[in-house]
Structure 1
Amino acid sequence: MNLRCIIIDDEPNAVSLLEVLIGQTTQWQLLGKCYNALEAIEFLKKHTVDFIFLDINMPHLTGMELAGLLPKDTKIVFTTAYAEHAAESYAYQTIDYLLKPITLKRFVAATQKIDACFGKHASPPESITTKPEADYFFFKTGKTLRKILLDEVLYFESEKEYVRLVTGTEELLIYRRLKDIEEQLPQPFVRVHNSYIVNTRLLNKIQDNHIYIGTKQIPVSDKFREGFMEVIRQRIF
């Protein structure tokens, strides 16, 4: 896939590494290399690209500040040595978040995400497929069917052959697989980890690749991050 991209990074060694990785593993067109945000702004006025590799820690304007100045549909692969900006990065059209030093294995994984991003416009990500709306479900616990209002559920947590359902006032153990429950849940419930589905309406904050909901801190895994942030982006002002 002959995608067009540029690299924006103030570190020459980092730029050279990305250039080599792009040349060795893809058929993309590297249209330019910019060593600061101001240079990148001028370049993008004259050239059209499909996505950009963008460093965060740069002089004059940081990568985050530059991202805020670009058109909202600009697709970005952030490259940085700092993991703490990951959650903030998904306020933009972020395809991936690469931590330096970038390894060949991690870069190849990123290329797959990038190609998928440009090759699958016709169908939404699996993790955010719209499901039928429902106000409540009956959950079997032991010999009892308990009626639970979905608006009160904070999250579901997988525990071997059981799933723990957690509200603000109680916890129930359900003899079901998390995947089976996921298939029946409507938005705002979103899978964020192999072990967790969360109610996005009730989460408190997102920080450093973690969700804070009720008194629980829940990790957001790479596998489910894009689907989760696609839902969150709809609510960002």
Structure 2
Amino acid sequence: MLKKMRVIIVEDRELARDELKHLLSLHPDMEVVGAFEDTASAQKIIEAKAEQIDGVFLDIDIHSEGECAGLNLAYRKDRLYLPKKPWIVFTTGFKEHALEAHLVGPYGYLVKPLDDTKLTQVLDRIRREITKNQPQLSSRIEIKHKSVSRGETFWCTKYINPKEILYIQSNNNGNTVRVQLINGDVLDGVNRALKDWQVPGFMRIHKSHLVNLEHVNGHKPDAIKHECHNVTFHGSTVELAIGGNYLEDLRKALNKIG
């Protein structure tokens, strides 16, 4: 039986919603389970039924809310603690939004007017990514990282259970990350941007930090920076800064998991 991907549409114009529904209906593996004209309604369903939603087709410019309302929803989604985070495909009539939208890490970007050729290209990419990221029989993930020995740099590959990861931190160039393991090992130079890590149980707490909530035991005020907070971990002296816009969502997530 064909496995369907369950998606929702966020678009303030009824004609545009109906058009996208029709185009998606041409693809047997797509099922539209909701369509919304505002981001607040969409966020409620994403929070309540995250495990039942695979993807979101999100209009960037919601006229009643502002020209970047869709982007703001995407940023909020990244800050939420969700058992499964849906992928995002942006739709817009403005090409100039493409660069900023790319920073959110969408699976695709559709410039209106839409047609099946454009949609098919994006859906094919999503299918490839999903196939590539299917969990193996083992729950471990493959991480290729740089290592230095006797002054020489070479690449190593490790297979890590996500539970072994304490946090993931973006490097200064933004295109690579360092993975901190709970045993103290650091896998650096991993060629995968922070926005591309979609690991269940992990949460973004800063533009540069993604933490494994299983190992987080709380947060506290920063000793030096006024009105700033740091996250703390079980059995570790490591502290990471929490971005100002992420603190409340982190509190909610920690209360939810107990």
TM-score by length of 2: 0.49
CA distance in structure 2 between the partners assigned to 1:21 and 1:106 by the alignment: 10
CA distance in structure 1 between the partners assigned to 2:155 and 2:57 by the alignment: 36
Q: Deviations over 1:15-48 (max 9, x none)?
A: 1111011111232221110011122123334433
CA distance in structure 2 between the partners assigned to 1:202 and 1:8 by the alignment: 34
**Root-mean-square deviation (Å):** 3.4
- Report the equivalent of 1:30: 32
Q: 1:67 aligns with which of 62, 74, 91?
A: 74
CA distance in structure 2 between the partners assigned to 1:202 and 1:49 by the alignment: 33
Q: Is the 8 A contact 2:11 2:38 kept in 1?
A: yes
Q: Is the 8 A contact 1:91 1:236 kept in 2?
A: no
Q: Is the 8 A contact 1:10 1:35 kept in 2?
A: yes
CA distance in structure 1 between the partners assigned to 2:125 and 2:117 by the alignment: 13
1:152-171 equivalences in 2 (<5 Å): none
Q: Given the alignment of the two structures, is residue 102 of structure 1 paired with residue 102 of structure 2, yes or no?
A: no
Q: Is the 8 A contact 2:144 2:155 kept in 1?
A: no
Larger Rg: 1
Q: 1:6: how far off?
A: 0.2
- Report the equivalent of 1:115: 127
SS of residue matched to 1:29: strand
AA at the equivalent of 2:43: I
Q: Given the alignment of the two structures, is residue 76 of structure 1 paired with residue 52 of structure 2, yes or no?
A: no
AA at the equivalent of 1:56: I
- Report the equivalent of 1:20: 22
Q: Is the 8 A contact 2:58 2:88 kept in 1?
A: yes
Q: Is the 8 A contact 1:81 1:99 kept in 2?
A: yes
- Report the equivalent of 1:140: none
Q: 1:54 to 1:133 in 2, by over 3 A?
A: same
- Report the equivalent of 2:255: none
Q: 1:85: how far off?
A: 1.9
- Report the equivalent of 1:51: 55
Q: 1:65 to 1:202 in 2, by over 3 A?
A: closer
CA distance in structure 2 between the partners assigned to 1:34 and 1:11 by the alignment: 10
Q: Is the 8 A contact 2:60 2:90 kept in 1?
A: yes
Structure 1: which 5+ runs fail to align? 124-128, 138-149, 151-183, 187-200, 207-227
CA distance in structure 2 between the partners assigned to 1:45 and 1:132 by the alignment: 37
SS of residue matched to 1:25: coil
SS of residue matched to 1:52: strand
- Report the equivalent of 1:191: none
- Report the equivalent of 1:90: 102
Q: Is the 8 A contact 1:4 1:31 kept in 2?
A: yes
AA at the equivalent of 2:9: I
Q: 1:82 to 1:133 in 2, by over 3 A?
A: farther
Q: 1:51: how far off?
A: 1.0
Q: 1:110 to 1:26 in 2, by over 3 A?
A: farther
Q: Which runs of 4+ in 1 moved over 4 A?
A: 131-137
Q: Deviations over 1:107-154 (max 9, x none)?
A: 11111112122223459xxxxx847668999xxxxxxxxxxxx9xxxx
CA distance in structure 2 between the partners assigned to 1:185 and 1:82 by the alignment: 41
SS of residue matched to 1:94: coil
CA distance in structure 2 between the partners assigned to 1:24 and 1:55 by the alignment: 20
